[in-house]
Amino acid sequence: MEVIASVDGNGKVLSISQNSFEAWKLSADELVGRSIFDILYPEDMMSAQQALLSATFMKQPTQFECRVVRRDSIVVPMYWTAQWSDMDNAMLMVAQDHIKPKSGDDPYKEARETMRFLMESIPMGLFLASVDGKIDFANKFLENLMETGALGLSERLIRTVFPMDVRVGASGDSAFAAYIDKKTQMRVLTAKEREIPIEFSLKRVNIGGLPMYLGTVINTTERFELQRMRQKFIDSVQVQLKAPLAAIMMHIELTLEGVHGNLNEQGKRRAETILKDIHEMLAAIESILEVNKLQSGTFALDVAPNNIMALLQQALMAMLYEIREKELVLEINGPELAVMVDEEKLMTVVMTLFANAVRFSPQGSKVRVQVIDVGNKARVEIIDRGPGMTEDQKDALFDPLRQPTVTGEGGAGTILAARQIVEKHGGNMGVISHQGAGSNFWFELPKAPD
């Protein structure tokens, strides 16, 4: 009997086959969410942990013996195979009745059958191939994707199925080096002559002592469509929002300067409020465009040594109107450190974080800015006394598919753009926040060489 399961990096069971009850008197519902180590025989637990660590770091199937304690306290010997999956971020495991292979058995056959069970349980295209490039086994998911029907993919050369740049007659790493441990985008024809975009990669594996390749094939049709829709949205933002808003802003600025006649005090205040709102909208739009550049690879940096304290003070001066309007107390401390940054891009980051702190700070409260020397990096902390954030809001803050609710801190998309700019500089960014206790947005950047 074989029980198939997947567990996370801490050993928590994510899924398990229904026959677990027949094997161990424990149903799948009872096991999901529990630690796999809860059911292992105590004396075998250390060897099991070592085997799972080995499977995680070696990225190859690992086999080990470990007894299981059933619900009725009967101890049953089991023979386990574990394989870590980066795609699923989980350990895939097969537990078999403990029957040792006979001396005459083929170790490759045993390992191949175990690998086949693992591959069939993963909802993505997978295949095993020999070093000469011949497909030994392909899971049903891949065969369905390639629409092969009963013909399957076994015994076919990889290069005849996928459009690879491989010299005829070449084999092994010399033939497939361009695809090993790399993700390659390509378009393939299915057996029904339908063209689909895929992401293709190869990985070296050892199956029963035999070197082989594990191929991964992911259908990227949905990803391509999402990218197309995103670009269409970005183009419409550029044409239909950014340009008209910039024109309106210029018209209001001219009005405030008296070009179109004089405004009374109430009219000036309203015009200044509208101008401030347009500035914020344009900043949000610019952040969306910056994120798009970062993700599309068209984002370039012009780095040079810059005094981080001077940049912070410059940004604060640009925010003086908003700071005075809310009667905030500003405190800035720390050493004058030189950092390797693109001045314009870093100003975008700093202005984003300052605007966030000012926006969410209560009237008359304090905003503290701290520069800290942390070895080869400079750390900047911007601390406010705003509403703070829940754990879920913090998780959503840097997730492009989610947005924090309006009750928490963080501008929609602008904080994400700021973080990506910092990471492009080789730095990192995060937030320390508790609901009702304010937020500390921080980032670290490489210091300039002495």
> Mean of the pLDDT values across residues 309-325?
86
- Give CA separation, 27 vs 21, 39, 97, 280, in Å: 5, 12, 17, 55
Q: By the 8 A CB rule, do 386 and 406 touch?
A: no
- Domain boundary assignment for the chain: 2-100, 119-219, 223-296, 304-446
CATH class of 304-446: alpha beta
Over 169-231, what HEC string results?
CCCCHHHHCCCECCCEEEEEECCCCCEEEEEEEEEEEEECCEEEEEEEEEECHHHHHHHHHHH
**Please, which pLDDT band fits residue 363 given cuts at 50, 70 and 90?**
very high
- Choose the weakest-confidence range: 81-85, 355-359, 411-415: 411-415
Q: What is the pLDDT of residue 259?
A: 81
The pLDDT confidence band at residue 404, using thresholds 50, 70 and 90, is very low
pLDDT for residue 305: 92
**How is residue 154 written in tokens?**
């076994």
Q: Which of 126, 130, 157 is nearest to 139 (CA)?
A: 126
Both structure tokens of 229: 């829709």
pLDDT classification of 201: cutoffs 50, 70, 90: very high
Q: Which of 141, 113, 117, 146 is nearest to 5 (CA)?
A: 117
B/e letters for 121-145, b = 16+ CB within 10 Å, e = fewer, are: bbebbbbbbbeebebbbbbebbbeb
Asked, colleague to colleague, whether 2-100 and 119-219 share their fold, the answer is yes
Q: Which residue has the higher pLDDT, 36 or 207?
A: 36
CA atoms within 13 Å, Cβ hemisphere of 11: 14
Say whether 398 sits in a helix, a strand or coil.
coil
Higher pLDDT, 80 or 89: 80
Strands (E) in 208-312, as ranges, are 210-219, 304-307
Average pLDDT over residues 21-46: 91
Buried b (16+ CB within 10 A) or exposed e, 40-60: beeebeeebeebbeebeeebb
Q: Which phi-psi region, left, alpha or beta, contains residue 75 (left: φ > 0; alpha: ψ -120 to 50)?
A: beta
Q: How confident is the model at residue 427 (pLDDT cuts 50, 70, 90)?
A: very high
Query: Which one is predicted more confidently, 233 or 176?
Result: 176
| pLDDT score at 103 | 46
Per-residue pLDDT at 302: 83
Say yes or no to pLDDT of 69 above 90: yes
Q: Name the more confident of 259 and 35.
A: 35
Write down the mean pLDDT value for the chain. Answer: 83
User: From residue 115, how far is each of 112, 134, 267, 422 by CA, in Å?
Assistant: 5, 17, 74, 42
Percent pLDDT > 90 in the chain is 29
Q: Which residue has the higher pLDDT, 38 or 398?
A: 38
Q: What percent of the chain has pLDDT over 70?
A: 86
Which residues lie closer than 8 Å to 193 by C-beta, 6 or more apart? none
Tell me how far apart the alpha carbons of residues 44 and 47 are, in angstroms, rounded to a whole number: 6
Contact assessment for residue 167 and residue 181, using Cβ atoms and an 8 Å cutoff: no
The string of pLDDT tens digits covering residues 328-352 is: 998 999 999 999 998 988 888 898 8
Give the relative orientation of helices 221-236 and 265-296 as an angle to the nearest 10 degrees. Answer: 150
Confidence of residue 410 (pLDDT cuts 50, 70, 90): very low
Residue 386: both structure tokens together: 């705003």
Helices 265-296, 243-256: crossing angle, 10 deg rounding: 150
Domain at 2-100: CATH architecture: 2-Layer Sandwich (3.30)
At the top level of CATH, the class of 119-219 is alpha beta
